[in-house]
Amino acid sequence: INPQVNFYWRRGQRIIPKGHRRGRLEPTRFQIDDLPHSQIRITQQLPQFTPLEASYAAEVPEVAFAPNLMPLFRRQYDNNIFTGAKLPDPACYGHTQFHLVPDRYHRDRLARRQQSDQVEVFLRANGLASLFAWTGAQAMYQG
Protein backbone atom coordinates (compact mmCIF):
# COMPACT_ATOMS: atom_id res chain seq x y z
CA ILE A 1 0.00 0.00 0.00
CA ASN A 2 1.29 3.42 -0.95
CA PRO A 3 -0.63 5.95 1.14
CA GLN A 4 -1.10 9.44 -0.15
CA VAL A 5 -2.82 12.54 1.20
CA ASN A 6 -4.05 15.40 -0.97
CA PHE A 7 -5.54 18.63 0.31
CA TYR A 8 -6.60 21.72 -1.64
CA TRP A 9 -7.63 25.05 -0.14
CA ARG A 10 -7.92 28.73 -0.93
CA ARG A 11 -6.57 31.52 1.24
CA GLY A 12 -7.13 35.19 0.51
CA GLN A 13 -7.02 36.83 -2.88
CA ARG A 14 -4.40 38.09 -5.25
CA ILE A 15 -4.38 40.38 -8.26
CA ILE A 16 -3.38 38.62 -11.46
CA PRO A 17 -0.12 40.34 -12.55
CA LYS A 18 -0.12 39.61 -16.30
CA GLY A 19 -2.01 37.93 -19.10
CA HIS A 20 -5.46 38.50 -20.50
CA ARG A 21 -6.97 38.49 -16.97
CA ARG A 22 -4.46 41.04 -15.62
CA GLY A 23 -5.74 43.21 -12.79
CA ARG A 24 -8.58 40.90 -11.77
CA LEU A 25 -8.93 39.39 -8.30
CA GLU A 26 -8.73 35.65 -7.92
CA PRO A 27 -8.44 33.38 -4.86
CA THR A 28 -4.96 32.25 -3.91
CA ARG A 29 -4.94 28.46 -4.26
CA PHE A 30 -2.75 25.87 -2.57
CA GLN A 31 -2.39 22.11 -2.91
CA ILE A 32 -0.47 19.71 -0.67
CA ASP A 33 0.35 16.34 -2.24
CA ASP A 34 1.80 14.33 0.62
CA LEU A 35 3.29 10.84 0.38
CA PRO A 36 3.71 9.44 3.89
CA HIS A 37 5.66 6.20 4.35
CA SER A 38 2.81 4.61 6.28
CA GLN A 39 -0.43 5.46 8.05
CA ILE A 40 -2.22 3.99 11.04
CA ARG A 41 -5.97 4.23 10.71
CA ILE A 42 -8.58 3.05 13.19
CA THR A 43 -12.23 2.02 12.95
CA GLN A 44 -13.58 4.44 15.57
CA GLN A 45 -13.00 8.12 15.95
CA LEU A 46 -10.66 9.12 18.78
CA PRO A 47 -12.41 10.57 21.83
CA GLN A 48 -12.59 14.32 22.16
CA PHE A 49 -9.37 15.60 23.76
CA THR A 50 -11.02 18.64 25.27
CA PRO A 51 -14.60 19.91 25.08
CA LEU A 52 -15.22 22.02 22.00
CA GLU A 53 -16.46 24.88 24.17
CA ALA A 54 -13.06 25.03 25.93
CA SER A 55 -11.37 25.91 22.63
CA TYR A 56 -13.12 29.29 22.47
CA ALA A 57 -10.92 30.67 25.25
CA ALA A 58 -7.71 29.03 23.97
CA GLU A 59 -4.91 31.14 22.57
CA VAL A 60 -4.41 30.24 18.91
CA PRO A 61 -1.26 31.66 17.36
CA GLU A 62 -1.78 33.57 14.14
CA VAL A 63 0.67 32.80 11.37
CA ALA A 64 1.02 35.90 9.21
CA PHE A 65 2.95 34.20 6.41
CA ALA A 66 1.36 32.76 3.29
CA PRO A 67 1.62 28.97 3.00
CA ASN A 68 3.75 29.18 -0.13
CA LEU A 69 6.58 30.71 1.94
CA MET A 70 7.15 27.31 3.57
CA PRO A 71 9.89 25.32 1.79
CA LEU A 72 7.42 22.65 0.67
CA PHE A 73 5.08 24.16 -1.91
CA ARG A 74 6.28 23.98 -5.48
CA ARG A 75 3.16 23.09 -7.47
CA GLN A 76 -0.38 24.24 -6.83
CA TYR A 77 -3.85 24.37 -8.39
CA ASP A 78 -4.88 20.70 -8.63
CA ASN A 79 -8.17 20.45 -6.76
CA ASN A 80 -7.74 17.05 -5.05
CA ILE A 81 -8.76 16.12 -1.52
CA PHE A 82 -7.93 12.58 -0.35
CA THR A 83 -7.25 11.14 3.12
CA GLY A 84 -5.39 8.03 2.02
CA ALA A 85 -8.34 5.73 2.78
CA LYS A 86 -11.09 4.64 0.42
CA LEU A 87 -14.56 5.64 1.61
CA PRO A 88 -15.87 2.12 2.31
CA ASP A 89 -12.73 1.34 4.33
CA PRO A 90 -13.84 0.53 7.93
CA ALA A 91 -10.60 2.01 9.29
CA CYS A 92 -11.28 5.49 7.89
CA TYR A 93 -10.23 7.53 10.94
CA GLY A 94 -6.65 8.71 10.94
CA HIS A 95 -4.43 8.11 13.95
CA THR A 96 -0.75 8.43 12.99
CA GLN A 97 1.34 8.73 9.85
CA PHE A 98 5.07 8.33 9.38
CA HIS A 99 7.44 10.12 7.02
CA LEU A 100 10.99 9.47 5.92
CA VAL A 101 13.36 12.28 5.06
CA PRO A 102 13.70 12.55 1.25
CA ASP A 103 16.96 11.47 -0.34
CA ARG A 104 17.58 15.01 -1.62
CA TYR A 105 17.78 16.36 1.94
CA HIS A 106 21.36 16.43 3.28
CA ARG A 107 22.23 18.01 6.62
CA ASP A 108 25.95 18.13 5.80
CA ARG A 109 25.28 20.21 2.67
CA LEU A 110 23.62 22.90 4.78
CA ALA A 111 26.47 22.76 7.30
CA ARG A 112 29.02 23.34 4.50
CA ARG A 113 27.08 26.45 3.45
CA GLN A 114 27.16 27.83 7.01
CA GLN A 115 23.38 27.33 7.26
CA SER A 116 23.38 25.04 10.27
CA ASP A 117 20.54 27.04 11.81
CA GLN A 118 18.35 25.99 8.85
CA VAL A 119 18.84 22.25 9.30
CA GLU A 120 15.51 21.67 11.02
CA VAL A 121 13.43 24.17 9.02
CA PHE A 122 12.59 21.76 6.19
CA LEU A 123 11.67 18.99 8.63
CA ARG A 124 9.38 21.24 10.66
CA ALA A 125 7.73 22.65 7.53
CA ASN A 126 7.19 19.15 6.16
CA GLY A 127 5.67 17.94 9.43
CA LEU A 128 3.41 20.97 9.78
CA ALA A 129 2.15 20.77 6.21
CA SER A 130 1.64 17.02 6.44
CA LEU A 131 -0.42 17.33 9.62
CA PHE A 132 -2.44 20.20 8.14
CA ALA A 133 -3.16 18.26 4.94
CA TRP A 134 -4.23 15.07 6.69
CA THR A 135 -6.37 16.83 9.28
CA GLY A 136 -7.97 19.06 6.66
CA ALA A 137 -8.67 16.19 4.27
CA GLN A 138 -10.27 14.14 7.05
CA ALA A 139 -12.41 17.11 8.07
CA MET A 140 -13.62 17.51 4.47
CA TYR A 141 -14.53 13.82 4.22
CA GLN A 142 -16.18 13.47 7.61
CA GLY A 143 -17.91 16.83 7.74
The pLDDT tens digits for 56-85 are 666 766 766 666 665 555 455 566 677 776
Residue 114 has pLDDT above 80, yes or no: yes
Asked if residues 13 and 24 have their Cβ atoms less than 8 Å apart, the reply is no
Q: What is the pTM of this model?
A: 0.63
Given phi > 0 = left and psi -120 to 50 = alpha, else beta, which region is 23? left
d(CA 62, CA 64): 6
Q: What is the dihedral of CA 123, 130, 103, 76, to 10 degrees?
A: -110
Separation CA 38–CA 100 (nearest Å): 10
Mean pLDDT for 17-21 is 87
For residue 112, report the phi and psi dihedrals to the nearest 5 degrees.
-65, -30
